[in-house]
Amino acid sequence: MSKTFAFGLFLLISNFIVGKIAVLFFAVNRPLGIGIYLFSWLMLIAGLVISGKDGWYMAKDWYKAHEKKLLFSIKHIFK
């Protein structure tokens, strides 16, 4: 796996996480939540350009396998 492909995977996985965090910010500060959400879309587009369709499938599978653990961690950080 090349470094650029790995960076694309990182951006795609981070996109999923940042998108979930943006939902939490919508309740507190709507403009900030929208800004974070739009930033997550930039991460998604950059990740897709760098790693392509194969990276998308790998990132999606990784996120599905670790989603509950990540969401549990995010909820405890924001408590």
The letter for the amino acid at 74 is: I
> With 70 as the cut, is the pLDDT of residue 46 above it?
yes
| Cβ density class 18-50: b for 16+ within 10 Å, e for less | bbeebeebeeeeeeebeebbeebeebbeebbeb
Helix residue ranges, H only, the chain: 3-28, 30-77
Per-residue pLDDT reduced to its tens digit, 54-79: 888 888 888 888 777 776 766 666 66
- The CA distance from 71 to 17, in Å, is 8
Percentage of the residues of the chain whose pLDDT score is greater than 90 = 19
Listed by start position, the domains of the chain span 3-77
Give the pLDDT mean for 11-15.
89
Q: What is the pTM of this model?
A: 0.75
